[in-house]
Amino acid sequence: MTAQPAPVAETGYPWPIETARLDNGLRVVVSEDHTAPVVGVNLWYDVGSRHEPAGQTGFAHLFEHLMFEGSAHVAKTEHMRYVQGAGGNLNATTNPDRTNYFETLPAEHLELALWLEADRMGGLVPALTQETLDNQREVVKNERRQRYDNVPYGDAWLRLLPLLYPPGHPYHHATIGSMEDLNAASLETFQAFHAQYYAPNNAVLTVAGDVTAAEVFALAEKYFGAIEAVPVTAAPHGHLSGPATAPVQETVVGNVPAPRVYLSHRTHPFGTAGYDAMTVLATVLGSGRGSRLYQRLADGARIAQPDYIGSYGVDLAHAPAPLIVTATAKDGVDIGTLTAGVAEVLDSMATEPVTAAELDRAKALLTTSWWRQVSTVAGRADTLSRYATQFGDPGAAAYRLPQWLAVTADDIADAARTLNPESRVTLTYLPEGDDK
């Protein structure tokens, strides 16, 4: 048998998609696939840290924790026990844009998942106590310590956001929030938070896997149908009048093992042609050993550590999303040399045309990563929830991969010309003693 050529992707989503909307506004998406006896259940609530007003940073994420602590008919800790007891796994995440809740279970337990999700959508507030809030506040503060404060470079994302987005912008503050705001969180605030955002007309429910659409629609009606819609408050707007007009720099001196630099720009919102070009650009620039950054700085000039070099976009949809380029110095390389080297490679994206080989490599990597993302029922359900929530159509998921594959070298050059040093954020970490 001879090798076959790389498949030309006409669609990034070759599974069926069926949709329905309950009278209360809940959008239900089903994608059948009977190859494995499992089912992925996923809910996107259109609420994230971008909705948080000043003084309430971290509330959307803390709220996510409270959603696992019991509801009208589910006692504290039973949520986890029921799902794991059914053989499933579960989690939730919060980012600036949204909060998602998801579980994968053996297919015969679909109804359990829908019952649990409906109970905490429609019945969280009666079960929410001060004791639960106090306990989860401590858990979240420990999460902040473990993931951001106690790790070298762990707070880079927390520092980049306020440098990229002006005060008052929904992306200005990080999702984890500040210790001060978390300490000030009151029970009434969270009850109001639930009433405002955890409504069927502010959510998308997706089920992927060994189910039928008719079965899911009937069960969705049974469990979610009685939950009442509420008027949805518009999110704070994320409009920005063009790119930043002045470079910004911040230097952190601390307990880090080597100098590191992050260069970052606001680009375009996720889902736009401009951001698709930026995604391919980031892959050409900084993904894999064949990328420009690796070839020129890790392999060529050998000024950067090979394991800590790369570039990526952060897929945010409600304002121009960040592109982040990072490198860490090899022993004996100073931060000036490193930063100049990274900037030179970044700038080369505008001045040196991307070759066919570079472009093909990037598209092949993106193709594999796309198929990996949709290789599980959980990945598929999350993807469909995203496109239904952010673009009004789960079927739009099918276009992302073809749109990446349609990006040309000229598109990348155009995108790269917007990444000029005048709009650049530079965040630098230096080990203590290197700050002279």
Residues 232-261 touching another protein, rule: CB under 8 A, are: 255-258
- In the bound complex, what is the minimum distance in angstroms from residue 101's beta carbon to another protein? 14
Instruction: Please choose, out of 2-10, 165-173, 404-412, 416-424, the segment that lies near another protein by the rule CB under 8 A.
Output: 2-10
Distance, in Å, from the CA atom of 203 to the CA atom of 198, rounded to the nearest integer, reads 7
DSSP 75-99: -TTHHHHHHHHTT-EEEEEE-SS-E
Residue from the set 10, 11, 16, 37 that interacts with another protein by CB under 8 A: 37
Residues 45-74 that bind another protein (CB under 8 A): 72-73
Contact 292, 348 (CB under 8 A): yes
Q: Does position 8 bind another protein by CB under 8 A?
A: no
Residue from the set 10, 54, 55, 81 that interacts with another protein by CB under 8 A: 81
Q: Does position 112 bind another protein by CB under 8 A?
A: yes
Q: Does position 432 bind another protein by CB under 8 A?
A: no
Question: How big is the CA angle at 231 (ends 70 and 396), to the nearest 5 degrees?
Answer: 85
Residue from the set 16, 55, 85, 336 that interacts with another protein by CB under 8 A: 85
- Chain centroid, CA 5 distance in Å: 32
- In the bound complex, what is the minimum distance in angstroms from residue 181's beta carbon to another protein? 18
Q: Does position 387 bind another protein by CB under 8 A?
A: no
Nearer to another protein, 268 or 292 (CB): 292
* Window 338-377: contact mask with another protein (x via CB under 8 A): -------------------x--xx--xxxxx--xx--xxx
Q: How far is CA 406 from CA 74, 224, 267, 409, 410, in A?
A: 49, 40, 19, 10, 11
Q: What's the start-to-end Cα distance of the chain, in Å?
A: 63
Nearer to another protein, 254 or 336 (CB): 254
Nearer to another protein, 141 or 400 (CB): 141
Q: Does position 152 bind another protein by CB under 8 A?
A: yes
Q: Does position 23 bind another protein by CB under 8 A?
A: no
- Chain centroid, CA 372 distance in Å: 16
Q: Does position 150 bind another protein by CB under 8 A?
A: yes
- CA-CA-CA-CA torsion for 330, 336, 337, 339, nearest 10 degrees? 80
Residue from the set 243, 290, 353, 402 that interacts with another protein by CB under 8 A: 290
- Chain centroid, CA 321 distance in Å: 11
DSSP 389-408: HHHS-GGGHHHHHHHHHT--
Name the pairing type of β-strands 203-209 and 38-45: antiparallel
Nearer to another protein, 122 or 320 (CB): 122
